[in-house]
Amino acid sequence: MSTQGPDRDLASIQEARALASRAKAASSKIVEFSQERIDRIVGEMAAAARVEADSLARLAVKETGYGIVADKIQKNLFAAEQIYQFIRPMKTVGVIRRLDDRRVVEIAEPFGVVAGLIPSTNPTSTAIYKILISVKARCPIVLSPHPSASNSVSRVAEIMTVAARNAGAPDGTIGCMRTVTLEGTQELMRHRDVAVILATGGMGLVRAAYSAGKPAYGVGPGNAPAYIEHSANLKKAVRDIVTGKTFDNGVLCSSENSVVVDEEIANAVKDEFVQLGGYFLSPSEVDAVAKALVTPQYLPSPALVGKSALYVAEQAKIKVPPETRVLIAPLKGVGRDFPLSMEKLCPVLAFYVVRDWKEGCERCKQLLHYGGMGHTMSIHSQNEDVVLEFGLKKPAFRIVVNTPTTHGSIGLTTGLDPAMTLGCGGHGGNITSDNISPRHLLNIKRLAYEVRPSTSGSNSPTDRKPASSSVTPTRPRVPGIKAETLVARIDTFLSTRGYATNLSREYSSSNTDTTPTEVRPLSQTPTAPPIKNDPVDFVCEDDVRQALKEGRKILLAERAVVTPAARDLAGASNTIIEPD
């Protein structure tokens, strides 16, 4: 787009609003689709993505400069094949489960319009995945790609939109922003027609998603440690770590970032790394790589994200053998004094030597606390007791065993649910620790039949008299409410329901008069007090009902929250007034 600055922001905001509105219109249609119809649409979209896996991978690398084409092809196929095969048999329409022993019937209800935020590191595979799981749950989706990946993500949306439309999906089921700015993305996330946010990206973006006032699934940074215990198959352990760290040049947030090794096998592990293309940096080279790779804000330099080990070494002005696949930095500690202990989105590993598994356990905790809480780690060991100890004690929700963290965490080499968005739970500030699937985009309604009779009143065991008691207990006397107070409360209650009375005045003049008091609608009472229209911060359905009854408007504050039910009830009556 040629627009810049405020004009571009405005165009992006307008586009977000239009796409959200189209998706909302589509949701009212797709919600009525049968399971068979939804499955046909999802199947056609997955097939279309499989055909284009190669071209989409090449487009992503060309546009972003990140990663390796062959590995991005594998990720695209993982989304279009393995994830599809996992979600294909899921029931997401109508009755999805019957718990006969409890007489409970579960019914699937789609969450609504999804805002899907797509990163530049894994743009096409993440877009394929989010579209598939959203439509499987009967949720239209609007994608907001990272600006540096907008063309490749738009291409995914185009391919899958054509396939979905040909299979019967309504227009607006899949949308993609083409003019992408921060303001536009924020507008999309906050838009009243968006029901839930799937956020994959940097921590700033994820925090923005959580502050948008909508349910959101986000992910945190990785910084995954890999621990090699002395009983491990060393050759396989090292090969797994190199495979995981070099896959797509380390851009997945679950890729290995540190290696923690028992002292008694440290030298053997180093030899294995060297044979597989690992280069151990000297102290001065560690400093040089840290200066090139880590920004003053302690983030990976965008210029080196997804680049090869040879390219990183060249930018750090150090010489390494031409067969080098991964740079390895021996470190003594974790934190800002050791910059390479942070998450590194390229083939660079920190390397630690520990006395035993207990010390290794503590080192892995430190690494996870320094930017990987709740995410992923791996352990390579044949000792099941040690493996279980790591499972019990580590603040990571995916602890993969004897496999690469990159492949194991997403379910490529393990039995975990295959996914491209990995929740980090409470440790990582996320709402779930799950691998995200269509289940997370469903609300579940439950029919619950009586399975045991209720008891109340004199039938309640607690209300029965003791068999041996011949004395009837007396109820303590409770002082009553004064008549004047009761009358005043009735006046107040009726006035909130749109009626005016003169009970208080009549009672004060004659508390012996039993003539019924006239109750008149406020519209017929010329002395009714004026109703103020101050801006409000929150509006629910009851507020709208009350405003309609009183014939007044509701003026919203600048960042007011309005429930969907309130919006629907207000309808075309213009009861709700947006702020200027």
Nearest to residue 315, comparing CAs of 359, 348, 352?
Answer: 348
User: Distance between CA 178 and CA 195 in Å, rounded?
Assistant: 21
Neighbours of 480 (CB within 10 A): 8
CA count, 13 A, side-chain hemisphere, 429: 15
Nearest to residue 253, comparing CAs of 484, 45, 65, 66?
Answer: 66
Q: Characterize the bridge pairing of strands 374-380 and 348-354.
A: unpaired
Nearest to residue 124, comparing CAs of 160, 152, 161?
Answer: 152
Neighbours of 369 (CB within 10 A): 14
User: Distance between CA 3 and CA 319 in Å, rounded?
Assistant: 44
Helices 69-77 and 53-64 cross at an angle (nearest 10°) of 130
CB 404 within 8 A of CB 413: yes
User: Distance between CA 403 and CA 297 in Å, rounded?
Assistant: 32
Neighbours of 7 (CB within 10 A): 12
Neighbours of 182 (CB within 10 A): 14
User: Distance between CA 344 and CA 329 in Å, rounded?
Assistant: 12
**Sign (positive or negative) of CA dihedral 27, 50, 220, 379:** positive
CB 457 within 8 A of CB 463: yes
Q: Which two tokens stand for residue 518?
A: 């006239």
CB 217 within 8 A of CB 421: yes
Nearest to residue 31, comparing CAs of 97, 109, 132, 91?
Answer: 109
Report CA dihedral (127, 128, 131, 135) to the nearest 10 degrees. Answer: -170
Helix H or strand E segment including 190: helix 182-190
Q: Which two tokens stand for residue 315?
A: 């930018």
Coil, strand, or helix at residue 514? coil
User: Distance between CA 252 and CA 411 in Å, rounded?
Assistant: 13
Nearest to residue 276, comparing CAs of 241, 314, 249, 305?
Answer: 241
Report CA dihedral (285, 289, 290, 295) to the nearest 10 degrees. Answer: 160
Selecting among 139, 176, 253, 364, the annotated active-site residue is 253
CB 217 within 8 A of CB 229: no
361 is catalytic: no
Catalytic residues: 253
